[in-house]
Structure 1
């Protein structure tokens, strides 16, 4: 039996459970690194895969283009980061950047929603651990009047004269 030193322990152990646990962790790591789905598991890789999916899924609408706009700050700020290291605080950082870029609250919420959906898609397709998608899903939308984000004026109804003029 090979003596093993558990992490954080001053002494080695001959406990077979510890050996089994270490062997399982090593196996999982090797399988994870060898799996072609995880080849480019950076934010940029996930974004590219999601855009490829969106172009086929949303063929007849401009949603793929909206997604591209929605992930610009994500790629600019965290493009080289491993997707599994992305979390709620980083998402809030992106949201704050959008606010500083003077996007209105509804547009900020829309773009953050796109990022959340992308991470859910990545978890569904086993490109990231599901815990990452769950963690960022806990970030709340900005509420009206409760953030620094700019509010847009309400859309007013069209006058009857305009409708009559357009229907002629």
Structure 2
């Protein structure tokens, strides 16, 4: 005689506050834990199981004319990640965004992987956000990652995998505000004192020192100085123009131009005596890859600077703990701080508008008149800076 099926337990799914029952390894969500609705749904499932009937998912959204898709959170995450891996690319290569999305969505799958995606609510999103706070993420990072989570649901709705009401409801959650949350604040990137830079330069490889000097003169980003190739530089005018290929706001229709004046030209000229499609700044020792791919990348550029800082400013003997952290904070710097130093100097000498132009902070929808004004101002400032 066949044994009767085991009656599954009526359980609480803590992250969402819903009742859940597991049948043959499948999690079925029943509605709010302890509610009459969830108790009735549980009773129907047990009755069907004991009678040998097929188990149907209960309708916990009665009155909604839109049929609820069966897509789970786990399936939504997998589909959206595949989309992100193919969508966020520049120059045929993936950007850093797919990895950032993967980190954000891990919180979603850790807490709600089996939940029907159409059941994901504003309260569930708050649970995800609190998990990020508890994990020690900073307020700015949390706000960015919550936007990535919402983007996954928005994408699913545009693909007709979810009702539009789901991302619309999630959009109601405001971002964490400074001073009104226990989430940590990100330390702002501060400019590095130029005297500290000057003392560090002699301890760098000549190539890295020239990269730093060029950043100080042009205000370019670390990845921009790492990516310079002869073919990207228009040398027809008194002020050279470096047209950045694949910069971070290119998809918004913005064109990024770095202006290089006389002093910057002197630094860069020796590195232009190579094939036009090869990178200008390359380590002397490098792994065996095709020539045109050899270059300093942002990580290796930063590491070279950090090693030079350690040689230029060794901590006094016996310095440890918080004292050592404070010493390193005052004597270690990174290439993105060089850009801030350049920005501060340009703003002090030429004003905020000039700094915005040189640093590439102009808006995407500027008219041709304003664009031409920006080009003129950029050339003028670069010529004066050197």
Q: Which residue of 1 aligns with 2:301?
A: none
TM-score scaled by structure 2? 0.33
| Greater alpha carbon shift after TM alignment, 40-49 vs 133-142 | 40-49
Q: Which residue of 1 aligns with 2:75?
A: 45
For 1:88, which of 118, 122, 126 is the aligned residue?
A: 122
Cα distance in structure 1, aligned partners of 2:197 and 2:156: 46
For 2:160, which of 103, 108, 126 is the aligned residue?
A: 126
TM-score scaled by structure 1? 0.74
Cα distance in structure 2, aligned partners of 1:106 and 1:28: 36
For 2:109, which of 55, 60, 75 is the aligned residue?
A: 75
1:6-155, aligned counterparts within 5 Å?
29=67, 41-59=71-89, 60=93, 61-155=95-189
- How many residues in Structure 1 have an aligned counterpart in Structure 2? 135
CA 1:71/1:89 → structure 2, altered by over 3 Å: closer, same or farther? same
Q: Report the structure number with the largest CA radius of gyration.
A: 2
Offset, 1:65: 1.0
Offset, 1:152: 2.4
Cα distance in structure 1, aligned partners of 2:164 and 2:186: 35
Cα distance in structure 1, aligned partners of 2:66 and 2:181: 43
Offset, 1:85: 0.2
**Moved segments of 4+, more than 4 Å:** none
Runs of 5+ unmatched residues, structure 1: 1-24, 33-37
Q: Going by fraction, where is strand more abundant, 1 or 2?
A: 2
Higher RCO (C-alpha 8 Å, min separation 6): 1
Cα distance in structure 2, aligned partners of 1:117 and 1:58: 13
Answer whether contact 2:66 2:163 (CA < 8 A) is retained: no
Q: Going by fraction, where is helix more abundant, 1 or 2?
A: 1
User: Cα deviations across residues 34-75 of structure 1 (Å, max 9, x unaligned)?
Assistant: xxxx5x610011111101111110133121111000111110
**Does the residue aligned with 1:92 lie in a helix, a strand or coil?**
helix
Q: Which residue of 2 aligns with 1:4?
A: none
Offset, 1:156: 1.2
Offset, 1:136: 0.4
Q: Which residue of 2 aligns with 1:158?
A: 192
